[in-house]
Structure 1
Amino acid sequence: MLTRTRISLDNLVDTLKAAAESSRLRILALLSRGNLTVSDLTEILNQSQPRVSRHLKLLMEAGLVERYQEGSWAWFRLADTGRAADLVETLIARLDMADLQVERDLERLATVKARLREQAAEYFARNAADWDDLRRLHAPDEAVEKALVSAVGKTPVQTLLDIGTGTGRMLELFAPIYLRATGIDASREMLAVARANLDKAGITHAQVRQGDILALPVDRENYDLVTVHQVLHYLDEPGRALAEAARALRPGGRIVIVDFAPHALDFLREHHHHIRMGFSDQQIADWLDSAGLDMAAAAEIAAPGDNPAQLTVKLWIGQDRRTLVADASQTQSSPEIA
C-alpha cells in the first residue's frame, strides 16, 4: 500500500474548500473514470468553457487535478501523487454514484466515450491490415503474452510504466498486478485507441499520455516495472531509450523488453518503418549495463514451423542494481522464463 500523506491544517482546509462545490465534485467523479478534456467536461456538465476552466483551475491549485498537454489539446486527470491524492480517492469512494445528478453525468460520459471509441476504431481499421501482415511473421500474441506474464510474475507492484504503449495492451495485460500505471506514446491516434481499449476493459487505474521516448514526461525513480514492448526496432538510438527508461525505475525495479532477434527481412524497413533489424542478447545486455541494469533473464519465442522468412520474438529483463533500502518489500525477484 502507498503511505498515507499527512497534510497541514491550512492545506487541508484549502483542499476541502476546493472540492466542496457541486460542479467541482462532479468533475472529480468524472475524472475518476478516465482522463478528459475541457471540451468533454463542457459537454457532460452542460456548462460554459470559461466556467469549467475556472473549476479546473481551482482543483489544480488544490492539488486534486493535474493538467498535461497532448499536441494542441489539454487533458486533465486526478492527481495520483502529492498531498491530495489519498483525499481524492477517499472522496470519490464516499460519493453515491446512484445520485441522480451523478448518474446523468455518467450517462453523458458514456456517450462521449462511445464517440471516442468509434473514432479509435476507425483509425485501427485503417491500419489493421498492415499489423495483421506483421503478426503472421512471428509467434502468436497469446504465446508472447503468456511468456511475459510468466516472466513478470504475480507479485504486486505499485507503479508500472509502459513505453510506446500503442494500443495499451500491456496496461491491460498487467492490470491485475499494479496499483497505478502510465502509458506513453508519441501518436495521438494510438493514444485514442489505447484509451478506448482501457475504457472497454473497465481499467480506471491506468492512464495514457503523449510523450517522447527519449525524454519521458514522468518523474524519475517513480516506477517499479517498465515495459518496452515492440518499440526498440523503430528507434535509431535504442540504447538511449533504455537509459531514459532506466531513469524512471525505482531502486531494484525491472525493465521488461520485447522485440525481435536479428533478422534479414529488409522489407520491414520500407513497409513497416523498422529502423533496426532485431537485436542480439549482447546488444541488449550492453545497453542495460550502460544504464545501470543487469541482464536478469533472456528468452525467445519462436514462430511456429520452420519458415526462415519468419521472426523470432525475444524477451529480456533488466534489473536495477541499486538496493531498495527504504522499503525492502518492493524489491522484486526475477522469475525464470519458461
Structure 2
Amino acid sequence: MHVSLDTMVDTLKAAAESSRLRILALLSRGDLTVSDLTEILGQSQPRVSRHLKLLLEAGLIGRYQEGSWAFFRLSDTDAARDFVTGLVSGIRGADPQVERDLERLSSVKRKRQDRAAQYFSVNAASWDHIRSLHVPDRAVEAALLKLVGKRPFQAMLDLGTGTGRLLEIFSPLYRRGIGIDMSREMLTVARANLDKAGVSNAQVRQGDIFSPPVERDAFDLVTIHQVLHYLDDPGRAIHEAARLLRPAGRLVIVDFAPHTLEFLREEHAHARLGFSDRQIADWFGEAGLDLEDSQEFEPRGGSEAKLTVKLWLGRDRRLLVADPSADASQLKVNPVGEIA
C-alpha cells in the first residue's frame, strides 16, 4: 500500500487511542455490534459510536447492516487488515485491560452459541430427516477438500452459508472468508460455530444470493452448498456467483441429482427436485465458466427413495497473464482466456 504522508499520519491518529486500539483488537477476533462493544468495553453507546466513526473514516474498519443491527468488522482491504494486525499483535496477552476485554468477548460469544443451540433445537428434527436420505456430510466435505486442494488462496465466498461449515473447513486455506445468508437465525448459528472453531479470518453477513453485498472479481473460490434447490432461478444465481470470481477462480456447487421426492417440495420448500449434469454445464457455460469436474455420492444403502448428492466444479475462463515487460507482481486479465 502506497499512501501519502498526511494519509498515514491520519490513519495512525485514528488508531492511536486506547479505546480505539481495544476495539481493533476485538474486531480482529470477529464481527461485533455496537451493543457487543459497549458491553465489553464498559463505555456508553455514544462514546463507542464516536470511536467507531473515526475508525470508519480512517478506513480501518467496515460496517454492514443486518436488519436493525449494525455489525462492524475489520476493513476488507488486505493492506488495512495487515496494518491493524500488526498493531494489535503486540498487545494480545501483554495488557491486562485487553485480556479483560477478551474475557468479556468470550462471554458475548457464549451468548451467541446459546441462541444458536436454541434455534437448532427447534429445527433439528426437520434437518435430521433430510440428512437421513443422503450420504453423510463428512464424505462430501472430504471430497470438497480434496477437490480444492491444499494450496492457499486469497479469498473465499460461501453463498447461502447456513451453519458456516464450509467457511470452517476451508479456513486454513484462505486469507479472507465471507459467508452470505438471508436468515438472521442462520447467521447467529454460523457466527457461533465459527467462534467455537476459533475461525477469525471469516465473517458472515446478511444478504441476497442474487445480489450479494460483496465486490465483484474478488474471490478465488465461491461455494454454493445445498442452496440451489430452494431457488426459483438457479441459473441466475450461478451467473451472479460467476461475476464474483477472480480470473481463473473456481465455483463449487453441491446439491442433489434429479429425484422424485415430492414431499421435499411440499414440506421443506424445495423449489427444484435436483439438477442434472447437463443443466449445470449449460448454466456454467452461460456464465462464462467451464465445467471441470463432476462427482456423485450415492445415498446410504443405494435406495431409489433416497437422494444422490452431486458436486460440480466450474472455473472462470479468464486467465491472469503475466506481462513480461512489467514487474513480476503485475498481472493482466485476458478476457478470452487465451495467452496472447
TM tier relative to shorter chain: over 0.9
Distance (whole Å) between structure 2 residues aligned to residue 197 and residue 120 of structure 1: 8
Using a 3 Å threshold, how does the CA distance of structure 1 residues 245 and 222 change in structure 2: closer, same or farther?
A: same
Distance 1:306 1:250 in 2: 38
Higher relative contact order (CA 8 A, sep 6+): 1
Gaps of 5+ in 1: 332-338
CA contact (8 A) 2:133 2:300 kept: no
Could you tell me which runs of 5 or more consecutive residues in structure 2 were left unpaired when the two chains were aligned: 323-328, 334-340
User: What secondary structure sits across from 1:212 in the alignment?
Assistant: coil
* In 1, Cα distance between equivalents of 2:4 and 2:297: 53
Matched, 1:85 2:81: yes
* Percent of paired sites with the same residue: 67
Change (3 A) 1:328 1:134: farther
- Kindly indicate whether the alpha-carbon contact (under 8 Å) linking 1:67 and 1:74 is maintained by their aligned counterparts in 2: yes
Note if contact 1:63-1:82 (Cα within 8 Å) is conserved in structure 2. Answer: no
CA contact (8 A) 1:7 1:83 kept: no
1:7 shift after superposition: 2.1
After superposition, the CA RMSD in angstroms is 1.6
1:10 pairs with 2:23: no
Give the aligned length. Answer: 327
Instruction: Select which of 256, 261, 266 maps to 2:257.
Output: 261
1:305 Cα offset (Å): 1.3
Alpha-carbon distance in structure 1 between the residues aligned to 2:92 and 2:274: 52
Identify which of 321, 328, 338 aligns with 1:325.
Answer: 321
Partner of 1:95: 91
> Of 282, 286, 295, which residue of structure 2 is paired with 1:290?
286
Q: Distance in 1 between matches of 2:330 and 2:63?
A: 33
* Contact map agreement 1:15 1:84 (CA 8 A) in 2: no
Q: Which amino acid aligns with 1:324?
A: L
Instruction: Measure the CA separation in 1 of the matches of 2:152 and 2:293.
Output: 19
**SS of aligned partner of 1:68:** strand
Letter in structure 1 aligned against 2:211 = A
Match runs of 1:1-338 below 5 Å: 5-81=1-77, 84-325=80-321
Once superposed, which parts of structure 1, at least 4 consecutive aligned residues long, lie more than 3 Å away?
A: 326-329
Conserved 8 A contact 1:261-1:311: yes
1:73-124 per-position Cα deviation (integer Å, ceiling 9, x unaligned): 1000011306533211211222243311001111111111111110111001
Partner amino acid for 1:153? Answer: G
The one-letter amino acid of 1:298's match is S
